[in-house]
Chains A and B, each alone.
Chain A
Amino acid sequence: MQASSSPQEISTALPAILARHGHDGTRLMQILREAQEAEGWLSPALLTEIARAVGRPRAEVEGTAAFYSFFHTRPRGKYCVLWSDNITDRMLGNRELLKALCSKLWLEPGRLSEDGLVSVNTTSCTGMCDQGPAVLVNYRAITRMTMERVDAMAELIRNQVPLAEWPAEWFAVEDNVRRADILLSSRFEPGSALRAAVARASADGLVASNDRSVRESLPHGLVGPTALLDEIRLSNLRGRGGAGFSTRLKWEACRNAPLKEGQTRIVICNADEGEPGTFKDRVLLTSHADLVFEGMTVAAYAVGATRGFVYLRGEYRYLLEPLQEVLARRRAAGLLGRNILGIPGADFDIEVHLGAGAYICGEESALIESLEGKPGRPRIRPPFPVTHGYLEQPTIVNNVETFACAALIALKGGEWFATIGTRQSTGTKILSVSGDVERPGLYEYPFGVSVAEVLQDCGVTNCIQAVQVSGPSGVCIGQDELDRKIGFEDIPTAGALMVFDCTRDMFDVAHNFAHFFAHESCGFCTPCRVGTQIVARLMDKLASGHGSPYDINEMFKMHRLMQGASHCGLGNTACNPMIDTLTKFKPAYERRLKSLDFVPGFDLDAALSQARQMTGRDDAAAHLAGTD
């Protein structure tokens, strides 16, 4: 249970935390999180102490603490309630529940209660779209909120019942696997893929392009790595995070990157899964963690890495201990650590690092910055992580699902994998389906499945208006496009499908996404930092009935600017939801337009409110009409 800190507590909890992390400044994210879990918030004195202990400038430490939504540099309530605010949560009524909770607790959203007991606010999608409305209470996930649970929660908070004593079923997170294929149905035996990889002899004529890394750093006497890379090549595996980069090219580039003195190669599993509407990695890590870890180990074997990280989004904090248990089991079984499978020099270990509420850390270079204890701002590229990644070392960053695929490829071979799916998109894809369907959850299909087929399996009762594929930064497809196919040939996706039936207002969808991007922009570059704000304000203006065609033109203008000039993908794609819905669902905007003339972006009459209050006037001249 987190309580607000007293000076004594700082002196007892912090030294142990710092010692556990070796006073290592690159582990700042973990130190800050654990310090906050112990002390309640990151007070100025605490930050000074941490900076001193890790030997980094205090301003840098504060900079990291200030960057992440889940770090609190101001006193936080004993109970911090954050409502997941994805559009799917809204469709399930989260706004009403939030309001109800606030009124029961006598507080305003976003404000700490006067007694310092509780704050209630919203947060970006917590990855529970199939079992929303979801909340985080002190960063622990609670699913399926109802009005009854809100009543009970208010009671528990008022009576200051420790979180550990709250009803256990509230914290239950379901897998909701509705259709399983090779990944979700695999009964994977830990170590089997590694053994297969090591046993695999180098196939004639398929030796991977370069054997330099074997000479340089791979355990002596191994021929398996090149053979394994050949299998990855045969499989035609492409990244599951959405971009679809060739896994073989990435791994080979890392493997071929020269190492400097004291360096190693690094394998990172991107479990930041922040794209609203996506929750497949949560299930893979809940029920198939061995498959994922084995995939990472296979990758380490292929590229010659000795260190591995799982960067787990802060929203999945509850998975930390279970994952650490799996890792411990694997170490005990000789599948991690030194001399893996008894092979001398085959050393590799994995640790789980938690993020702290920053969508941008799903971008691989921002993720690496975060792993180094810094704010998650995407790096200038080139150089790319495969040559200059974690602490300047050659690094591969792959999606959770990619590693799971890699383990199966190591086990069953690339040719087997390539028979599944389509030519350009081999294997299967796990889709996270939420919104207006009867059975939200995970659906795994061979690539090439059409959206319509998926919808049929999910159970659609009402007429479909649109499907948002790949989250806010993806693509919004309309009724007449449902025959489009999931795959790199048509719709590349990390796998989120949010379904909207004909009763939904597509403007509301885009409005929600606009605020998501404004909240999540890292602020590094001008076009994204300010542009996402301008767009969110334009959408607010339209939503409040002050819009004109002028504002719609402005949105297209911002799109043209941000798409080319932004530093990374966030800014480049941040206008997609507006442009897609403006193109496909324009009436949703038009019926909000106030007039065809220019309309101010603020309420003129409301702008006189303070003067009215202070003068006590309410005469005609003390009011202004919205327009002439």
Chain B
Amino acid sequence: MSEQNSFLLDGEEIPFSPGQTVIQAAKAAGKYIPHLCWHPDFAPHGSCKLCTVKVNGRFGSACTTAATAGMNVDNRTPELDDKRRTLLQLLFVEGNHFCPSCEKSGNCLLQATAYDLGMMSPHFDHFFPDRPVDASHPDMLLDFNRCIMCALCVQASREVDGKNVFAMGGRGMRGRRVIVNSESGRLADTDFAATDRAANVCPVGVILKKRVGFAVPIGQRTYDKAPASIVEVVK
């Protein structure tokens, strides 16, 4: 019976129900597969590639690969974690990620994942892009310097809030990362609200609530208490 509804993750048997992806089944079984753009409440986006695993020897994204009986999945191997560290380094150098001056520090999944994988430096030469900050909205701030293009805000605004405040922008490194749904391009000219799901879904420090940035002191934040490998499985 178990053979029909389970697969191997790093040699351990993981049960799954039909329709589950590898990452869903792993999370349900308490196993951490590093990820950034995947969120349990939303359809997989498959863009960050942090959840890259080896399925029967072939690379694939755990968030988009359907679990099938008997598959053999490698997850926390030195080879895969090394690739994940490199992916994190790519994300760190393409944007402007200055943790000491970011109010998301300690609650940031990018940062916490990098801690968890032992990323000691960004390794590559920094791009230091010039990206806009949009502070027009009375309650919310957008700092695109930190955007990793996970599209969770796009999905949340469209599917939960029914608003379409955001869309993915540009091509490659060109253009705006995320397009705001107004002719002026300003968040203040949209119907965005601090209570929107999209206002509370950003895994990094792009979409921030004003005036509450340091309500929880550094040192007492989500990933201060426990590493991403635990938080992301429990949450």
Q: Using CB atoms and an 8 Å cutoff, list the residues of chain A in contact with chain B.
A: 44-45, 47-48, 57-60, 62-63, 66-69, 358, 375, 377, 380, 518-527, 529-534, 537, 557, 560-561, 564-567, 601-602
Contact = CB atoms under 8 A, between A and B. Distances in A.
A527 B179 contact: no
Contact of A532 (B169, B172, B179, B185): B172
Contacts of B124: 534
B168 A375 contact: yes
A69 B173 CA distance: 13
Nearest to A68: B171
Nearest to A382: B66
A565 B149 contact: no
Contact of B46 (A518, A529, A567): A567
Contact of A523 (B64, B87, B170): B170
23 contacts: A57-B181, A58-B181, A59-B164, A59-B167, A59-B181, A60-B167, A63-B168, A66-B179, A67-B169, A69-B171, A380-B44, A380-B46, A519-B172, A525-B46, A526-B47, A526-B87, A527-B90, A529-B94, A530-B93, A530-B173, A533-B127, A567-B46, A567-B49
Contact of B170 (A44, A67, A525, A565): A67
B166 interface: yes
B155 interface: no
Contacts of B77: none
Interface string B51-64: 01000000100001
Interface of A is mostly: helix
Contact of B183 (A48, A57, A526, A531): A48
Contacts of A375: 168, 171
A-B residue pairs, 7 tightest by C-beta: A57-B164, A59-B167, A59-B181, A530-B90, A564-B59, A63-B167, A523-B172
| Central interface residue in B44, B90, B125, B185, by most chain A CB within 10 Å | B90
A526 B48 contact: yes
Contacts of A47: 183
A523 B173 contact: yes
Interface string B160-194: 00001111111111111001111111000000000
B47 A45 contact: no
Give the size range of B's interface with the partner.
35 or more
Interface string B62-76: 001000000000000
A257 B70 CA distance: 27
Contacts, number: 116
A557 B83 CA distance: 10
B94 A530 contact: yes
B167 A565 contact: no
Nearest to A43: B183
Given A66-B179, A380-B64, A526-B90, A533 B173 contact: yes
A59 B183 contact: no
A462 B164 CA distance: 59
A504 B182 CA distance: 50
B91 interface: yes
B86 interface: yes
B138 to A, nearest CB: 20
Given A57-B181, A66-B169, A523-B170, A530 B91 contact: yes
Interface string B26-60: 00000000000000000010111110100000010
A602 B124 CA distance: 13
Contacts of A560: 83
Given A358-B171, A526-B91, A564-B83, A537 B179 contact: no
